[in-house]
Amino acid sequence: MPSRARWSEAAMNDTIRLFGLGLGPGHPDYMTVRARRVLETADRLVHFCKRGRRGNARSIADAVVGANHEREIALVYPVTTEIPADHPDYAAALNPFYEAAAAQLLAETEAGRTVAVLCEGDPFFYGSFMHLWWRLKDRVSIEVVPAVSGMSGAWTRAGAPITWGDDVLTVLPGTLSEAELSRRLSCTDAAVVMKLGRNLPKVRRALATAGLLERAIYVERATMTEERIVPLPELTEDFDAPYFSLVIVPGQGRRV
Domains and CATH numbers, the chain: 9-148 (3.40.1010.10), 151-249 (3.30.950.10)
SS3 state at 21: strand
Q: Express as a percent the part of the chain with pLDDT over 90.
A: 75
pLDDT of residue 81: 60
Task: Provide mean pLDDT across the span 147-157.
Answer: 96
Which pLDDT belongs to residue 164? Answer: 96
pTM of the full predicted structure?
0.87
75 beta partners = 48
What is the phi/psi pair of residue 144, to 5°?
A: -100, 120
Higher pLDDT, 146 or 12: 146
Whole-number CA gyration radius for the chain: 19
d(CA 36, CA 191): 31
pLDDT of residue 82: 58
Over range 92-115, report the average pLDDT: 94
Q: Would the CA dihedral through 19, 151, 125, 56 be positive or negative? A: negative
Pairing of strands 18-22, 115-119: parallel
Residue 249 pLDDT greater than 70, yes or no: yes
State yes or no: pLDDT of 73 exceeds 70: yes
How much of the chain, in percent, has pLDDT values that exceed 70? 90
Distance CA 1, CA 186 (A): 39
Q: In this predicted structure, which of 11-20, 126-135, 168-177 has the lowest mean pLDDT?
A: 11-20
**Statement: residue 84 has pLDDT above 80:** no
pLDDT recorded at residue 1:
41
Q: What is the pLDDT of residue 87?
A: 64
Q: What is the pLDDT of residue 156?
A: 97
Model confidence pLDDT, tens digit, residues 2-28: 444 444 454 445 578 999 999 999 999
Buried b (16+ CB within 10 A) or exposed e, 170-203: ebbebbbeeeebbebbeebbbbbbbbbbebbebb
